[in-house]
Amino acid sequence: MNDWTAGYVADVGYTYGYYLELNPLRIKLAFLNAGIQFPKVGHACELGFGQGISANIHASASVSSWFGTDFNPSQAAFAQEVAAASGADSKLYDQAFDEFAHRDDLPDFDYIGLHGIWSWISDDNKHIIVDFIKRKLKVGGVLYISYNTQPGWAAFAPIRHLMTEHAEILGSEGRGIINRIDGAIDFADKLLATNPMFSKANPLVAERISKLKQQNKHYLAHEYFNRDWHPMHFATMYHWLEPAKLQYACSANYADHVEILNLTSEQQSFLNEIPDRMFQQSVRDFMVNQQFRKDYWVKGLRKLTSLEQSEQLRQQKLILISHRADIVLKINGNLGEAELTAAIYNPILDALADYKAKTLGQIEQIVAAHNINFSQLLQAILVITAMGHISAAQDENISAKAKKLTDKLNADLMMRARSSSEISYLASPVTGGGIAIGRFPQLFLLALSQGKKQPEEWAKFVWQILTAQGQKIVKNGQTLESAEDNLSELIEQAQTFALKQLPIIKALQIV
């Protein structure tokens, strides 16, 4: 193992994920719903940006200036290459947290984000991060942080420990981390097949191990096989962040804002009787068996008056980002699947079906004819946002500035899609963030940018790219062998894309 890693898995790169919770624009609606003042984000920072997809998308799609670090030099080099292609005002370094935290050229930040970091680093690094937040997060600034939580890991933590021990003791270093992971999962499987008392006491563990087998090995390496892996109770987190003068603001997971999806009425009244906000969160974590928290913390929490809250909520701009006709009125909350009331949700979705950004106030007026009141509207918007069908939209003058950068970033990402399906997001200057767009749709857009107007032409363009690399389409687990079959599959995909996704992509100014 290299010595700069501090026990962190560094021999396989991290996945090329995008995390919309890191988009500062998302803070606003969550804070407004909770009745809390939110900051204007001028300077933002991401600690441990991985391959830097989120950092690069947010840097190009907003007018904030972004800073960040990730000590893995291959990942930082990739992130810097993408940043250079977009021309965004971002400074992405390959420094370890302690080195980065003591740079003397950093501004004070309105926003600091860490996704998938906290549970996988040593206490020394946690202290470095808390000290950094204490010194560098502005008053009124927001921290977004996600972390593995108890009690959700209570049953699985001993198995994770056993698997890493197996990888260390029985796995041979020379075979690489991926082989050691396979060996460790296989071993855990065999252990459970002997019906140990442990699995009788923890019957869900076997299911969890079989899910591991289906997951991306690079993800598993970083999630489970680090030296440090510490799920943390909410109350412990609170004590860690206290020296940085942070207060818990609200969940960054919008579904958590609508408790009827997550808690029975008995649980809600039990919680409401608890006077302490922090203790409420600890108790709630037992109710939902919380495994992973995504939270906003703020330096100096200030409540909005109800007048300010209602005025600012009505000014919040939103845009539909999914094909209207494909939206199914069901959501999976902690209590299971919930059917959404068509009489409320359909008029709201219809009001946004032209894919034009509207304020909540405008939507309120449109749906008033359907007897939908503002609190029903707000709850529905939070639910549809949690489902991933609605995004906050930024002001047009900001989108117009950002579009110059997102165009360059997207051009770069689409070129990469010719040889890889690893990055399945493009940047929208309207939402200030990333939108899921897979490899073939990215290549259809590339064809469009090269003047090809019809879906058939896009399909041919993609097929040429695939044949040049000896690639074929796999459909329902079967490889399509003939050129005709590949082409007709691509034409079908291109036609559906033209009908469903392209109008949204245009509305989001991705092209």
Which residues make up the interface to ligand SAM (CB under 6 A)? 6, 8, 14, 17, 19, 48-50, 69-72, 75, 96-97, 115-117, 120-121, 125, 222
- Nearer to ligand SAM by C-beta: 128 or 383? 128
**How far apart are alpha carbons 281 and 304 in whole angstroms?**
21
Residue 163: C-alpha distances to residues 13, 200, 231, 382, 444 (Å): 20, 19, 16, 39, 43
Q: How far apart are CB 501 and ligand SAM at their closest, in Å?
A: 24
Query: Min. distance of Cβ 121 from ligand SAM in angstroms?
Result: 5
| Residue closer to ligand SAM (CB basis): 49 or 296 | 49
* Min dist. Cβ of residue 292 to ligand SAM (A): 12
Q: Are the C-beta atoms of 405 and 56 separated by less than 8 Å?
A: no
Would you say 425 or 458 has its CB closer to ligand SAM? 425
Q: Shortest gap between Cβ of 450 and ligand SAM (angstroms)?
A: 31
CB nearer ligand SAM, residue 8 or residue 254:
8
Question: How far apart are the two ends of the chain, measured CA to CA in Å?
Answer: 44
Please, what is the minimum distance in Å from the beta carbon of residue 96 to ligand SAM? 4
The radius of gyration of the chain from alpha carbons, rounded to an integer in Å, stands at 24
Q: What is the total residue count of the chain?
A: 511
Closest to ligand SAM by CB, 95 or 179 = 95
**How far, CA to CA in Å, does 394 sit from each of 256, 304, 316, 359, 406?**
24, 21, 9, 11, 14
Query: Rounded to whole angstroms, how far apart are CA atoms 336 and 331?
Result: 8
Q: Cis (ω within 30 of 0) for the bond into 24?
A: no
Distance CA 429, CA 407 (A): 9
Nearer to ligand SAM, 75 or 281 (CB): 75
- Asked if residue 338 lies in contact with residue 258, where contact means CB atoms within 8 angstroms, the answer is no
Closest CA to 159 of 119, 117, 208: 208
Beta strands 390-392 and 109-114 are unpaired
| Residue closer to ligand SAM (CB basis): 227 or 314 | 227
Cβ proximity of 220 and 180 under 8 Å: no
Q: Which residues of 296-325 are buried (b: 16+ CB within 10 A; e: fewer)?
A: bbbbebeebeeeebbebbbebbbbbbbbbe
Which residue number, 59 or 372, has a Cβ lying nearer to ligand SAM? 59
Min dist. Cβ of residue 234 to ligand SAM (A):
20
User: Residue number with the shortest CB distance to ligand SAM?
Assistant: 50
Distance of closest approach, residue 54 Cβ to ligand SAM, in angstroms: 7
Kindly state the smallest distance separating residue 350's Cβ from ligand SAM, in Å: 35
| Contact in structure between 221 and 177 (CB atoms under 8 Å) | yes
| Least distance CB 45 / ligand SAM (angstroms) | 12
Which residue, 128 or 352, is less far from ligand SAM as judged by CB? 128
Looking at the DSSP assignment, which residues form a beta bridge with residue 109? Answer: 137
- Rounded Cα–Cα distance for residues 208 and 221 (Å): 16
